[in-house]
């Protein structure tokens, strides 16, 4: 329990879920409602499953299975977030580019 609490506290210092989701809603405002909803779901998933350094060590296949969305839809969401310089993707990891 103590480790989980410490990880949660460390994560909140780097970024908060509310701030992450709120700031990124604008990026999905020009997309369909479905993409916007999936974008928000992904950001919540990212926050819940990322390390204290804001890095997610999961494959696209694992993420699509966990969130129950298609590979194509997740790719579109990731491309939007990448183009807005919110996240980066390298060697199978997804990381938060800056404090959002």
Give the DSSP per-residue string, 1-68: -HHHHHHHHHHHHH--HHHHHHHHHGGGTTS-HHHHHHHHHHHHHHHHHS-TTSEE---HHHHHHHHT
Extract the tokens encoding 23.
């700031």
CA 19 to chain centre: 12
pLDDT confidence tier of residue 74, bands split at 50, 70 and 90: very high
Over range 38-52, report the average pLDDT.
Answer: 92
Which DSSP symbol is given to 98? S
pLDDT at 35 over 80: yes
Q: Do residues 69 and 61 lie in contact, with contact meaning Cβ atoms separated by under 8 Å? A: no
For residue 28, the domain's CATH number is: 1.10.10
Over range 66-95, report the average pLDDT.
Answer: 93
Q: Tell me the pLDDT tens digit for each residue of 80-92.
A: 999 999 999 998 8
When comparing pLDDT for 5 and 79, which is higher? Answer: 79
Domains held by the chain: number:
1
Place of tokens 């296949």: 61
Full-model pTM: 0.79
d(CA 77, CA 51): 20
Domain range holding 82? 2-96
């Amino acid at each position: 329990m103590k480790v989980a609490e410490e990880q949660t506290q460390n994560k909140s210092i780097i970024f908060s879920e509310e701030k992450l989701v709120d700031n990124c809603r604008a990026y999905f405002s020009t997309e369909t409602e479905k993409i916007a909803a999936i974008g928000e779901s992904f950001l919540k998933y990212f926050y819940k499953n990322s390390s204290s350094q804001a890095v997610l060590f999961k494959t696209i296949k694992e993420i699509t299975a966990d969130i129950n969305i298609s590979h194509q839809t997740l790719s579109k969401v990731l491309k939007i977030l990448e183009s807005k310089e919110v996240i980066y993707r390298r060697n199978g990891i997804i990381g938060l580019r800056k404090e959002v």
